[in-house]
Amino acid sequence: MNEGGVEGRLESAEGRLAELTSRLERMERRVFPSAAPATRPRPAPTAPHAATPAPPAPPRPPARPAPAQPDPWLPQRGLEEILGGRVLAWVGGVAILLGIVFLLGIAIDRGWIDEPMRIVLGLLGSTSLLLAGVWLYEREGRTEAALAAVASALSGLYATLLVGTQIYDLIPVEVGLACAGLVGIVGGALAIRWESPIVGAIGILGALLAPVLVDSGTSGLSLAFMAVALTAAVGVLLWQKWDWLSLGAFLVSAPQLMAWFVENHDERLLVTLGVLVGFWGLYVVAAIGYELRARTPDELPIVSWLLLLADVVLVAGAGYFAIDAAGHPNAAVAWLLGAAATHILLGALALRLAINREIGSLLVAVGMGLSAFGFADALEGPALVVGWSVQAVVLAFLATRANRVPTPYGSSAERLLIAAGSYLGLALGHVLVFEAPPSAIIAGVEDLGIALAGLGVCAAATLYGRFALRDFDPRVVQVCEVVSAAVLVYLASVAIVDTVGVTASGDSRQAGQVLLSAFWALTGLGAIVYGLLRDVRRFRLGGLALLALAVAKVYTYDLAELEELSRVLSFIALGLLLLVGAFAYQRIQVGVGDGDEGATR
């Protein structure tokens, strides 16, 4: 009995299982018509020695239903989320903050609450809103409404501290700074946890602005608090890589640092310089710290360039002013040159260790720029020209090693080339104003050796750029060629006039102007002939320009100022050279175009 009952139950279960399997197969065929049957077909019996049948084809994957097409008449989901989630949330947060302000205003006007109660209500209301925002964000999803509530609460706390310290004078300055620091810690922690730039901006920048909010003045306590807040801000921006925070921290803290400097720089010089060096280090880390830590080969953001330049101007300028005001002008120059050497050494180290070419080039460029001011204060005459020319050469060399990837603000190589051109322009400008002014081609110079040294150094620096930058844009090479040729021609012209065209007593000689006109015409003719023989168009154009200058000089200055015999010699020499030039143009075949040869010569 028992065995029969067990066997019957097993048979009944097997039957039910077979029925369920059959129903499941029918449902699969309805849902996925193209799918193969779930059960494998049994192979048909084959005769002995028959060929092995081919294996069955693998089943095709079930066809997925096509996604439903969106209704073109409905608004896009992204715009709806922005308007419905973010805009409404932040407008609501601002409305709550304004409502609290208006309510306090009404209460104050009607005398409902006294001053201490206003501060208490402001602190309690902002803290409650902060806790509610944190609860909403952590428990109910990361919504924009929660972020807006937290941002409004942080702003309300800072505003309450401002009113309690400056307007009502109910909160001591020390307590106000401590409370502002606590609000900044909470805001910074929430910003890091939620990765929210808005919460971070309000919390961190508000803490940096706390000495101004609580009106703590320019005391040592205010400076120490700002230094701690700035250190925390630098740590946050390194952790989150918020480039905007570095510039924002500088814009908030630098005016406070300068206010402290103005009030305290004449008391203890060493302490002042130490404070400047400390803030300089924090700003440098804020500008390039993340790239140093991550060793990213990418282009530095423009914020890093601006912050490092502003840091150098602020700290180096303030230190120079403090030392010079203390009666140590030589030490002030040493401060500038020391700061320049520090940046150059750090940049060379970054290039040497292959940390980041952009950072290395930037630091060296900043150091070179700072040394320009130091040289201008410490040197004069040709020594200053040599210093600026050497800086131009170093920057041009760095441009050949810098990144050439184009960016909206230009590549690093382009920026370094602009800096090199600026220094070369300073050197040439100094020579043309002091050592060899344009009047030198008429009356000579005071010291021919100094003039030739200044012009020679500028020409050498430009020639270096012509050969070192040959892999850059051909226009850069052509500019270097034109500038170097013009400087060399001007150098020779000054030498001719000062040796032949001026007497020992300073009177002008006719022979000097005749030789100058002949020199210009002969040099222009030589450039034309060379350009014709080598088929280099820019040489021909340069020669024609110099010939035109000689013609203008002979027909204006020589005709009006020279004596009869000298005038005759000038016209005859110019006419003969012009005839030779015309003959050369007609007899020497000019190649068609300048081609690659003209671009590289």
Over the stretch 401-460, which tens digit does the pLDDT of each residue have?
776 766 655 677 787 888 889 889 999 999 999 999 998 888 888 889 999 999 999 999
pLDDT exceeds 90 at position 224:
yes
Highest mean pLDDT out of 249-258, 384-393, 555-564, 581-590: 249-258
pLDDT exceeds 50 at position 65:
no
What is the SS3 assignment for 268? Answer: coil
What is the SS3 assignment for 533? Answer: helix
| Angle ∠(132,135,140) on CA atoms, nearest 5 | 120
- Comparing C-alpha atoms, which of 71, 229, 199, 192 is closest to residue 133? 199
What tokens were used for 594?
Answer: 């300048």
Look at 184 and 21; give whichever has higher pLDDT.
184
> What integer best gives the mean pLDDT of the chain?
79
CA separation for the pair 349, 308 (Å, rounded): 17
What is the model's pLDDT at position 596? Answer: 40
CA distances in angstroms from 211 to 57, 175, 191, 237, 314, listed in the order given: 79, 12, 22, 21, 20
pTM of this prediction exceeds 0.75: no
What is the model's pLDDT at position 274? Answer: 94
What is the model's pLDDT at position 13? Answer: 75
Q: Which residues does 527 contact at the CB level (< 8 Å), separation at least 6? A: 539, 540, 542, 543, 546
- Contacts of 112-118 with C-beta under 8 Å, sequence gap 24+, read 115/168, 115/170, 116/170, 118/163, 118/168
Burial label, 415 (beta-carbon count in 10 A; 0-12, 13-18, 19+): buried
Burial string for 278-290 (b: 16+ CB within 10 Å, else e) reads ebbebbbbbbbbb
Look at 31 and 26; give whichever has higher pLDDT.
26
Range in 39-53, 136-150, 167-181 the model is least confident about: 39-53
What is the model's pLDDT at position 565? Answer: 81
Mean pLDDT to the nearest integer, 195-202 = 90
Range in 19-33, 78-92, 386-400 the model is least confident about: 78-92
Question: Binning pLDDT at 50, 70 and 90, where does residue 595 land?
Answer: very low
Look at 272 and 301; give whichever has higher pLDDT.
272
pLDDT exceeds 70 at position 35:
no
CA separation for the pair 548, 578 (Å, rounded): 10
- Comparing C-alpha atoms, which of 478, 295, 474, 299 is closest to residue 402? 299
What is the model's pLDDT at position 528? Answer: 87
Pair 181, 210: CB distance under 8 Å: yes
What is the SS3 assignment for 502? Answer: strand
Mean pLDDT to the nearest integer, 96-117 = 65
Amino acid found at 133: G
Range in 34-48, 368-382, 504-518 the model is least confident about: 34-48
> Within 13 A of 488's CA, how many CA atoms are on the CB side?
13
Mean pLDDT to the nearest integer, 515-539 = 88
If you ran DSSP here, which 8-state letter would residue 504 be given? T
Highest mean pLDDT out of 346-350, 397-401, 471-475, 522-526: 522-526
Mean pLDDT to the nearest integer, 316-344 = 91
> Within 13 A of 471's CA, how many CA atoms are on the CB side?
9
Question: Binning pLDDT at 50, 70 and 90, where does residue 503 land?
Answer: low
CA separation for the pair 88, 83 (Å, rounded): 6
Amino acid found at 571: F
Sketch the domain layout of the chain as residue ranges: 84-216, 509-600
What is the model's pLDDT at position 4? Answer: 54
Range in 164-168, 180-184, 352-356, 518-522 the model is least confident about: 352-356
Pair 272, 265: CB distance under 8 Å: yes
CA separation for the pair 437, 460 (Å, rounded): 19
If you ran DSSP here, which 8-state letter would residue 86 be given? I
What is the SS3 assignment for 508? Answer: strand
What is the model's pLDDT at position 94? Answer: 65
The Cβ of residue 523 has, within 10 Å, a number of other Cβ atoms equal to 21
Pair 419, 365: CB distance under 8 Å: yes
What tokens were used for 547?
Answer: 């010939």
Pair 309, 332: CB distance under 8 Å: no
In percent, how much of the chain has pLDDT > 90? 25
Mean pLDDT to the nearest integer, 147-166 = 86
What is the SS3 assignment for 50? Answer: coil
- Comparing C-alpha atoms, which of 255, 467, 298, 287 is closest to residue 366? 287
pLDDT exceeds 90 at position 315:
yes
pLDDT exceeds 90 at position 162:
no
Helices (H) and strands (E) in the chain — how many of each? 24, 0
Pair 278, 224: CB distance under 8 Å: no
Query: Quick one: how far is CA 473 from the chain centroid?
Result: 22
What is the model's pLDDT at position 487? Answer: 95
What is the model's pLDDT at position 573? Answer: 82
Range in 247-261, 351-365, 544-558 the model is least confident about: 351-365
pLDDT exceeds 60 at position 41:
no
CA distances in angstroms from 563 to 202, 380, 530, 566, 568, listed in the order given: 81, 40, 34, 5, 9
Range in 222-231, 238-247, 366-375, 591-600 the model is least confident about: 591-600
Burial string for 76-115 (b: 16+ CB within 10 Å, else e) reads eeeeeeeeeeeeebbeebeebbeebeeebeeeeeeeeeee
Mean pLDDT to the nearest integer, 531-547 = 88
pLDDT exceeds 90 at position 486:
yes
